[in-house]
């Protein structure tokens, strides 16, 4: 029998036409873990410590979940679920952990639990609950070191969006956003030729008085949309400057959309004859269209960034200058330097 000629290519591998599903990926990962005790042991230790930590925070977590029925924090139900999905999407194998990293993790865990004790002593319930985040970071650093923190840390930090704002901070933000929404909407209406003027948190259009209440301040929209923007940044594969622009523009987009909502609602109230119908239709429907409009603006922003910024993935271009191949006189003979004298 003759030998096949060497072509330098890898042997062909039969590929199934079925695309891998989530369950098949889980089964493959489980099978890999069973064959790798060095991966299974730290994973089981990590899961055990996280469960113990969540059990110790159970009262605080129950208190936090009670806020998720408030429309301002209705997105809280999705935050833990998205965190688990994000951990699965970004997962990487465990790497060896140095003793220094374990000490840092133990210190961070002690710091989180210590801060919780201080918050509980002074009845700072919100701070008590939020200390779960640094405590979780400490557990992950203790078990998996800095390598684990690099890919799991962003998902853990995303948990801050499930906690309610302190009352003092919430009231301060609400008041400022109400004034901003009222002033900006009044200005837009005046620009459109509508005789509107502002009275505190109310917009007067003739005999019509349009009140910008807490629900119309834009805080809920800003909170949810910023959390969504952070989630997009953690999932999409875009250059870092694109993701930075997404984060920086999230709150301005949310506030601008809220101004559009208040303005359109005021105009429709002015044109409608039945105020009750306007309340049910215009006000509620305008609220439903806020998120699609904000996402549309974000999509347009990303498309503009894609047009303005083009990554150079081709071969390196020749530079013009001392090291460029197209600049300067040609070499003077083989092996000679420019300016060398003749014998």
Q: Using 50, 70 and 90 to split pLDDT, how confident is the model at 4?
A: very low
Residue 64 above 60 pLDDT?
A: yes
Give the start-to-end residue ranges of the domains of the chain.
27-163, 168-308
pLDDT value at 250 more than 70: yes
pLDDT of 311 reads 59
Distance set, CA 156 to CA 87, 110, 138, 153, 190 (Å): 9, 17, 11, 5, 46
- pLDDT surpassing 80 at residue 35: no
Round to whole Å and give the CA distance between 261 and 181: 10
Q: Quick one: pLDDT at residue 273?
A: 62
With contact defined as beta carbons under 8 Å apart, do 176 and 245 qualify?
Answer: no
Under 8 Å between Cβ of 278 and 272: yes
Q: Given a cut of 70, is residue 48 above it in pLDDT?
A: yes
pLDDT tens digits, 290-326: 889 999 999 999 889 888 866 555 555 444 444 444 4
Q: Per-residue confidence at 265, pLDDT binned at 50, 70, 90?
A: confident
Confidence band of 278 (pLDDT split at 50, 70, 90): low
Using alpha carbons only, give the angle 188, 189, 192 rounded to the nearest 5 degrees: 90
Q: pLDDT per residue over 119-169, tens digit each?
A: 999 989 999 999 999 999 999 999 999 999 999 999 999 999 999 988 888
The better pLDDT of the pair 320, 269 is held by 269
Edge-first strand order for the sheet with 202-205 is 196-199, 202-205, 208-211
Q: Which residues lie closer than 8 Å to 260 by C-beta, 6 or more apart? A: 293
pLDDT: which is higher, 22 or 186:
186
CB distance 125 to 61 below 8 Å: no
Write out pLDDT tens, residues 181-230: 999 999 999 999 888 889 888 888 877 788 887 777 888 889 989 999 99
CA atoms of 237 and 250, how far apart (whole Å)? 18
What element of type H or E holds 114?
helix 99-121
In terms of C-beta distances under 8 Å and separation of at least 24 residues, what long-range contacts does 147-154 make, across chains too?
A: 147/92, 147/94, 147/95, 147/97, 148/94, 148/95, 151/90, 151/91, 151/92, 152/87, 152/90, 154/86, 154/90, 154/234
Q: Taking 50 as the threshold, does the pLDDT of residue 170 lie above it?
A: yes
Query: Exposed e or buried b for every residue in 138-148, given b needs 16+ CB within 10 A?
Result: bbbbbbbbbbb
- pTM, full prediction: 0.74
Encode pLDDT of 82-123 as tens digits.
999 999 988 889 899 999 999 999 999 999 999 999 999 998
């Amino acid at each position: 029998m003759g030998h096949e000629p060497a072509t330098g290519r890898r042997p062909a591998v039969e590929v199934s036409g079925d695309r891998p599903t989530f369950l098949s990926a889980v089964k493959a990962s489980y099978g890999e873990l069973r064959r790798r005790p060095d991966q299974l042991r730290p994973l089981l230790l990590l899961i055990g410590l996280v469960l113990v930590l969540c059990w110790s925070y159970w009262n605080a977590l129950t208190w936090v979940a009670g806020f998720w029925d408030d429309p301002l924090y209705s997105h809280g139900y999705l935050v833990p679920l998205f965190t688990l999905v994000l951990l699965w999407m970004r997962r990487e194998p465990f790497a060896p952990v140095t003793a220094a990293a374990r000490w840092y993790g133990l210190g961070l865990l002690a710091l989180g639990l210590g801060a919780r004790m201080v918050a509980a002593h002074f009845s700072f319930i919100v701070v008590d609950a939020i200390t779960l985040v640094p405590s979780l970071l400490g557990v992950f650093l203790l078990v998996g070191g800095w390598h684990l923190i690099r890919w799991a840390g962003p998902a853990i930090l995303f948990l801050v969006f499930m906690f309610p704002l302190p009352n003092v901070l919430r009231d301060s933000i609400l008041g400022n956003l109400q004034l901003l929404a009222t002033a900006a909407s009044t200005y837009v209406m005046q620009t459109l030729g509508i005789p509107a003027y502002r009275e505190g948190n109310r917009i007067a259009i003739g005999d019509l008085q349009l009140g910008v209440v807490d629900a119309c301040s834009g805080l809920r929209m800003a909170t949810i949309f910023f959390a969504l923007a952070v989630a997009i940044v953690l999932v999409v594969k875009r250059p870092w400057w694109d993701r930075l622009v997404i984060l920086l523009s999230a709150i301005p987009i949310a506030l601008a959309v809220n101004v559009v909502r208040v303005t359109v609602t005021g105009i429709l109230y002015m044109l409608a004859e039945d105020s009750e119908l306007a309340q049910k239709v215009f006000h509620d429907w305008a609220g439903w269209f806020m998120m699609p409009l904000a996402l549309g603006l974000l999509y347009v922003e990303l498309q503009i960034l894609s047009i303005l910024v083009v990554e150079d993935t081709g071969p390196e271009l020749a530079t013009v200058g001392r090291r460029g191949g197209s600049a300067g006189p040609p070499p003077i003979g083989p092996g000679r330097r420019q300016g060398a004298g003749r014998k």
